[in-house]
Amino acid sequence: MNMTNLSSGFSKKLNVDAPEFVPSFIQRQQQQATAASVPGPQQQSNNNVSTTVPTYQPSESTTSSSATTAQPSSTMKHTIITKEHLNIVFIGHVDAGKSTIGGQLLYLTGMVDKRTLEKYEREAKEKNRESWYLSWALDTNQEERDKGKTVEVGRAYFETENKHFTLLDAPGHRGFVPNMIGGACQADVAVLVISARKGEFETGFERGGQTREHAMLAKTAGVKHLIVLINKMDDPTVEWSETRYQESFLRDVVDEKTCSWYRGPSFLDYLDKLPSFKRQIEGPFRMPIVDKYKDMGTVVFGKIESGSTERGAQLLLMPNRKPVEVLQLWSDEDEVSHVSSGENVKIKLKGVEEEEVTAGFVLCDLNDPCATGRIFDAQVAILEHKSIICPGYSAVLHINSAIEEVCVKNIIDLIDKKTGQRCKVKPRFVKQDQLALMRLECTGGMVCMEPFSKFQQMGRFTLRDEGKTIAIGKVLRIVE
């Protein structure tokens, strides 16, 4: 998908004074009432935004009254999300333009105003990083801005006509893959950003390139919908070449003068028309914790995988079996009274101290908690490992949002990939490209997990060693 066509309305060039530039369904502050122009330095290919980008226009039937913010009560503001909530994560090789695209989306949908963007542009210019100013909407800490690289998973939100999106911006550098996994495990949809620039596309797909690894990790994390977004088509090495675009073996997706061969929906239109996702709203409450902080109490956040909860509810924090009470709930920074499966939320808890909570813990239904295990049997596919793997081998386990050291206790069987049958001879080791049944032990203690057959999202895992993803697998049985 071509990065140029972020917005819809192909027949019209952008009118920088047009009030319809920011969708009417976004409730805007007073200073945003004046329409703004599309940002984009004319000479910076990393932003890949042209002043010919047309405006994103919702249908006339969508008015400000359809915004998700309800009238505040006398005591506090409560937001009711009336649109379907989807979580999208931007993934891909370092410097593909993920944060820049995310910043552009936030601007196009009115979540970042012109004044703020101009401030980012001035500050970025002072650091000789003019082409990255859009990314500052998501790369908020000083280290990320100084280095021009995303380190932590950026988090923001925006809306289209029919959908409410939580945007997760994952780091692309190979040194921050664990953070990328944490972002992917919260997503419903992954946007794989690929640079069309000569050399960058190829590097991302070589062994060790993050384009290949991120796509695989997203699938392992349970992301079932992948959008491929081609960026930097305006680069001098590309010049909007259809031939270069087709090297990616993708379907034609925009009818623009700069790119007349391009057909199909714009990126925002495509996101808006994504199919509905089936949520486990009626299931027991499950929320893997991705992070926490202290603010007049303990605040945790993550994506709700199953069930729902409300203010005042009693929950159980696993694996330490700590009863807690829900004091406050936030969905995308707005306080709400009720949340359900599929939402990315923050929850203030009573009954537990911040230092007692770790990423990977799971908030559960008080009467139906998730399973925990230290030793478990799993089906493991070895992806990339030069040497053989024998009992005693150690690696790093990524399951849900937990990161733990794991040891191979026993290799139970090899599985024939073609037939799915177990081999007759008991294996002494396993090597690259083989599929095996293994018994694994978490050396750090109990970890929240579920058999894959019972709860898929909490039964998938990744094994990494020496900065590389070496295997993926699923939990078959918890032994103890």
CATH at residue 313: 2.40.30.10
Angle between helices 177-184 and 210-220 (to 10 degrees): 40
Mean pLDDT, residues 20-29 taken together: 30
Identify the domain boundary among 335, 365, 395. Answer: 365
pLDDT tens for residues 381-405?
999 888 999 999 999 999 989 999 9
- Domains: count for the chain: 3
Q: Is residue 11 part of a domain?
A: no
Share of the chain above pLDDT 90, in %: 41
387 and 357 in a single domain? The answer is no
Residue-level pLDDT at 258: 61
6 part of a folded domain? no
Q: Which pLDDT belongs to residue 64?
A: 33
37-51, 247-261, 341-355: range with highest mean pLDDT: 341-355
Residues 54 and 131 in one domain: yes
pTM of the complete model:
0.74
Cα separation, 277 vs 222, whole angstroms: 13
Q: Are residues 216 and 351 in the same domain?
A: no
Q: Are residues 168 and 35 in the same domain?
A: yes
Per-residue pLDDT band at 199 (split at 50, 70, 90): confident
CATH number for the domain harbouring residue 257: 3.40.50.300
Whether 190 and 290 map to the same domain: the answer is no
- Return the structure tokens found at 431: 């090597």
Average pLDDT over residues 141-147: 69
Question: Does residue 70 have a pLDDT over 90?
Answer: no
Q: Are residues 360 and 376 in the same domain?
A: no
Each residue's pLDDT tens digit, 342-365 = 999 999 999 999 999 999 999 999
Higher-pLDDT residue of 94 and 458 is: 458
Q: What is the DSSP letter of 423?
A: P
On whether residue 12 sits in a domain, the answer given is: no
36/169 same-domain check: yes
Length of the chain in residues, anyone?
480
13 domain-assigned: no
> Across the chain, what does the average pLDDT equal?
79
Mean pLDDT of 118-145: 75
% pLDDT > 70, the chain? 77
Are 318 and 392 part of one and the same domain? no
DSSP assigned state of 212: H
Dist CA 404 CA 399 (whole Å): 8
Based on the fold, state whether residues 356 and 378 are members of the same structural domain.
Answer: no
Which pLDDT value is given to residue 385?
A: 86
The answer as to whether 280 is a domain residue is no
| CB distance 283 to 92 below 8 Å | no
Residue 97, domain extent: 19-272
pLDDT class of 192 with cuts at 50, 70, 90:
very high
Are residues 420 and 309 part of one domain?
no
Examine residue 121 and state whether it is found in any structural domain, yes or no. yes
Residues 379 and 332 reside in one and the same domain: no
Q: DSSP letter for 233, please.
A: T
Q: What are the residues whose beta carbons fall under 8 Å from the beta carbon of 150, sequence distance 6 or more?
A: 98, 99, 135, 138, 139, 144, 169, 170, 171, 172, 173, 176
Q: What is the pLDDT of residue 390?
A: 95
Q: Who wins on pLDDT, 105 or 80? A: 105
CA distance 451 to 303: 19
Last residue of a domain, one of 365, 396, 430: 365
415 plus 314 within the same structural domain: no
In a domain, 3, yes or no: no
Asked which of 365, 384, 402 is the last residue of a domain, the reply is: 365
What is the model's pLDDT at position 417? 87
pLDDT on residue 257: 61
